[in-house]
Structure 1
Amino acid sequence: MDLFGYIKVDSANLLGKEYEAYKGIYCTLCKQLGKEYSVFARFILSYDCTFYAMLGLDLCQEPPCFKEGRCRFNPFKKCHYADTKTKAFSLAAALSVISAYYKLKDNLLDSPWYKRIIYRLVQPFFASWRKKAAKKYPEIDHSVSKMMEEQLKAEKDPDCVLDRAAQPTADMLGEMCALLTEEIPLRDNLDQNTTKRVFQTLGYYMGRWIYLIDAADDYEKDKKHHNFNPFLLPNTDDSVENIRGNLNHALSEALLSYGLYEKGRYDSIINNVLCVSCVNIQNKILSGFQTDITEA
């Protein structure tokens, strides 16, 4: 299980300056991937890791300084790039390449033969990026690899239940958010221990929500092809009410955790993601379901 691109802003509900700040973080992470790993690593840029970088920047005492530049892939496009003195971008870039590598390994196990050929061709590049990132941040590599191992065990367990299936992704993202508070010098008004607990809980429930929203999104496909899906497990209520309830619980717990955090410069954007974008994405996915999925 990897990150999926569900954690993104709802641009229609952001002020212009807020959207420009978000785009600046997105473009800077893209640049960081190219700088630390390879120009080709830019293709694994994700909204999830952009949000992760923004959480890291929100912890910092000094705001990043943005400068105007040109996009590497589109020289006619102007972008705003932040300085990368903070570790937020480096951590987000490492999480990007490490999670992409382990996702590629997972795809090699259960993809059609013609897709496996493509995956094997690009595997050396992903392995090289992962090796470099793991040397710099071994705790990220350990956390993501452990998640993949636990996820595989859960999916092979005939007695697996929904909570166990969602646990590996939740644990991993909780550990990654806690790592931000350890690697980045915090604002003067932030207590180290309290902030770490808050971020770990926030990451845990965001990880749970990501896993479950992806499962809801793939429900029909997984049912048709007899793939693993936590909502298709034996003795699991797969009604839309139960799916919505599980998603609402994870998202509300994430919001409660974030509510305990001493807000920083990106509070309005983070709230946009948690309170607007995630809710809209969830409603859109669930709107395609009948009242009871089992009867659809």
Structure 2
Amino acid sequence: MFGYVRPFKPELRMKEYEAYKAVYCGLCKELGRQYGIFARFTLSYDFTFLAILSMAFQKTAPDFSKIRCLINPLKKCSACRQNGVTERIASQAMITLYHKCRDQLLDENWLARLPVSLSFPFVRWCWQKARQKEPQYDCFAADMMQNQQLAESRLSGPDPAAEPTAHFLSQICETLSDDPDQKRVLARFGYLLGRYIYLSDALDDLEKDAKKHRFNPFLQRYTVSELKSVSYSPAVESIHGTIAELEKAFSLLNLNDWQPIAENIVYYGLKQSLQNILRKKEKIE
């Protein structure tokens, strides 16, 4: 995942922000415990949100405890763990990282491949360990990457190009609840969340992809100049439409104590991430 699913801090109450940080710190701690210190630096906001979704459907209460932070060992911070959720999400994060690195190794530019090549033995070791714990997730991720390569080879537009990521997250989110009604809603929500992540990443990488002659779904119909001239409206409208549908699906979920934090991310954070992408493009211009 890519880090576009994050909270909008100004709209979070203090206790909600502390709970969110506790989940993030708990995941960071778990990554270090299972996969070593360097694995901690791979944690993204997207997996923190996935952990919150998972915790919302657990029957046991979360466990908050004080731990020492690697960055500031003199100060203790809160960490949240719950019924194996952090262990599972940490493994899923490493599996995703492995498949993403494998995809990056296909880059034709050897200089771009160099950092990934140097870290790949460590990433592969983490993956071999993680896939034993999460074999189904590994199969889902491998299928997603294969389908993504196929879509890109066909020079697909935004809708078919986003399908593999959307389907992947639909499969993952559907497993979070045993309730049949919630499973259906989670599948739809995950599909739209995956679509949002893929399209946001494509918009974010637009100029870089054009410069390096890499696939980008928005460049199959428009040039960068054409998109700039209309303030990227084809991409922005597609992402806004996805967010609107995602909000409808989200309104049918019952996330218990985690509802306020999830609402902040879905109703404010996703739009803010899009605005951050557009602001970054304004600075480039």
Structure-1-length-normalised TM-score: 0.88
2-side partners of 1:15 and 1:255: how far apart?
21
Aligned-partner residue type, residue 178 of structure 1: E
Partner of 1:47: 45
Q: Map 1:158-197 onto structure 2 (within 5 A).
A: 158=155, 160-181=156-177, 192-197=179-184
Aligned pair partner of 1:77 in 59, 75, 78: 75
Q: TM-score, normalised by structure 2?
A: 0.91
Residues 158 and 199 in structure 2, CA contact (< 8 A), matched pair in contact too: no
CA RMSD of aligned residues (A): 2.0
Of residues 227, 234, 241 in structure 2, which corresponds to 1:242? 234
Structure 2 counterpart SS, 1:266: helix
Q: Give, in whole Å, the separation in 2 of the partners of 1:200 and 1:157.
A: 26
Question: Is the alpha carbon distance of 1:121 and 1:226 closer, same or farther for their aligned partners in structure 2, counting shifts above 3 Å?
Answer: closer
Q: How does 1:212-251 map to 2 (within 5 A)?
A: 212-234=199-221, 238=227, 239=230, 240-251=232-243
1:192-229 residue CA offsets vs partner (Å, 9 max, x unmatched):
11111111111110100010011111112222332211
Per-residue CA deviations over 1:154-173 (Å, capped at 9, x if unaligned) read: 11114x22211000110111
Query: What is the total number of aligned residue pairs between the two structures?
Result: 278
Structure 1: runs of 5+ lacking an equivalent: 183-191, 291-295
Look up the equivalent residue of 2:148 and give its one-letter code. Answer: Q
Q: 1:106 to 1:194 in 2, by over 3 A?
A: same
Q: Is residue 261 of structure 2 the alignment partner of residue 265 of structure 1?
A: no
Q: Percent identity?
A: 37
Aligned residue in 2 for 1:185: none
Whether the 8 Å CA contact 2:5–2:273 is kept in 1: the answer is no
Deviation at 1:100, TM superposition (A): 0.5
* Offset, 1:288: 6.1
The yes-or-no answer on 1:150 pairing with 2:147 is: yes
Q: Aligned to 1:181, what secondary structure does the other structure show?
A: coil
Match for residue 88 of structure 1? Answer: 85
Q: Residue 33 and residue 288 in structure 1: after superposition, are their counterparts in 2 closer, same or farther (change >3 A)?
A: closer
Contact persistence 2:5–2:49 (CA under 8 A): yes
- Work out the CA distance in 2 between the residues paired with 1:147 and 1:51: 20
The residue number in structure 1 matching 2:190 is 203
2:215 alignment partner, SS class: coil
Q: 1:77 to 1:162 in 2, by over 3 A?
A: same
1:225 counterpart letter in structure 2: K
Specify the alignment match of 2:133 in structure 1.
136
Q: Distance in 2 between matches of 1:74 and 1:13?
A: 27
Q: What residue in structure 2 maps to residue 186 of structure 1?
A: none
Amino acid paired to 1:216:
L
Q: 1:70·1:79 contact (CA, 8 Å) conserved in 2?
A: yes
Corresponding residue number in structure 2 for 1:280 = 272
Match of 2:106 in 1: 109
Shift of 1:179: 2.0
Distance 1:83 1:269 in 2: 16
Higher mean displacement: 73-82 or 248-257: 73-82
Asked if the contact 2:53/2:255 (under 8 Å) is kept, the reply is: no
C-alpha contact 2:5 2:46 (8 A) present in aligned 1:
yes
Runs ≥4 residues deviating over 3 A: 234-239, 286-290
- 1:129/1:289 CA distance change after superposition, 3 Å: closer
Residue 276 (structure 1) shift: 0.8
Q: 1:283 to 1:119 in 2, by over 3 A?
A: closer
Instruction: Give the drift of 1:289.
Output: 6.3
> CA 1:41/1:171 → structure 2, altered by over 3 Å: closer, same or farther?
same
